[in-house]
């Protein structure tokens, strides 16, 4: 009978993996150098996470904004705007400002290597869009229109975040995000 997984050790390894990936990127992620960098072995990473792909998925899941928590209590346009601004702040100055680089790298890798990264990237996008679309539906938007509006909001903010990471222009990207949020959260009609 296999021994039970040490949950605390797994969580500690995951934190270290995330830090490593934020510092070194996803593109050339290989288990042996990763393991050496964080003071463990490839065998231990495989024991705790099963595969390179699962490790990457777990690292991304552990560090994406919780859109469901941000948007589940939205019941009016003002609440939608507040939630969208909370998302923007989380991506740019909050707890997500570091991990967002991992997401941007994943999306780029999915374009150039869809076989390896496409499904994970698509799932990562859907996890953001679904709860935001649900908020739009609660505000009276038809479902297809709600998904389009959620896509505009998520993709627009993500693009502005990438712009900010490249240019370091906080004032311009904050103003653009505010403009996007105001336009994307207008009442249905």
**pLDDT tens digit sequence for 60-110:** 777 777 788 899 999 999 999 999 999 999 888 866 666 778 888 888 888
In this model, does residue 47 exceed pLDDT 70?
yes
Q: Where are the domains of the chain?
A: 7-61, 67-184
DSSP 8-class letter at 6:
-
Verdict on whether the full-model pTM lies above 0.85:
no
Q: For residue 178, how many C-alpha atoms fall within 13 Å in the half-sphere facing its CB?
A: 6
- Topology of the domain covering 7-61: Arc Repressor Mutant, subunit A (1.10.10)
Judge contact between 29 and 52, C-beta under 8 A: yes
The whole-number pLDDT of residue 147 equals: 96
Q: Which helix (DSSP H) or strand (DSSP E) does residue 43 occupy? A: helix 42-49
């Amino acid at each position: 009978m296999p021994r039970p997984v040490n949950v605390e050790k797994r969580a500690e390894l995951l934190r270290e993996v995330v830090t490593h990936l934020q510092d070194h990127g996803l593109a050339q992620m290989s288990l042996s150098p990763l393991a050496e960098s964080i003071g463990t072995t490839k065998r231990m990473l495989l024991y705790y996470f099963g595969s390179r792909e699962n490790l990457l998925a777990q690292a991304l899941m552990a560090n994406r904004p919780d859109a469901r928590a941000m948007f589940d209590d939205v019941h009016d346009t003002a609440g939608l705007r507040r939630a969208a601004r909370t998302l923007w702040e989380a991506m740019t100055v909050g707890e997500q400002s570091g991990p967002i680089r991992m997401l941007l790298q994943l999306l780029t890798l999915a374009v150039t290597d869809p076989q390896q990264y496409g499904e994970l990237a698509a799932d990562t996008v859907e996890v953001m869009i679904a709860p935001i679309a649900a908020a739009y539906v609660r505000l009276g938007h038809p479902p297809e229109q709600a998904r389009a509006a959620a896509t505009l909001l998520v993709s627009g903010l993500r693009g502005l975040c990438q712009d900010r990471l490249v240019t370091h222009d906080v004032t311009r990207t904050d103003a653009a995000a505010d403009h996007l949020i105001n336009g994307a959260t207008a009442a249905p009609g």
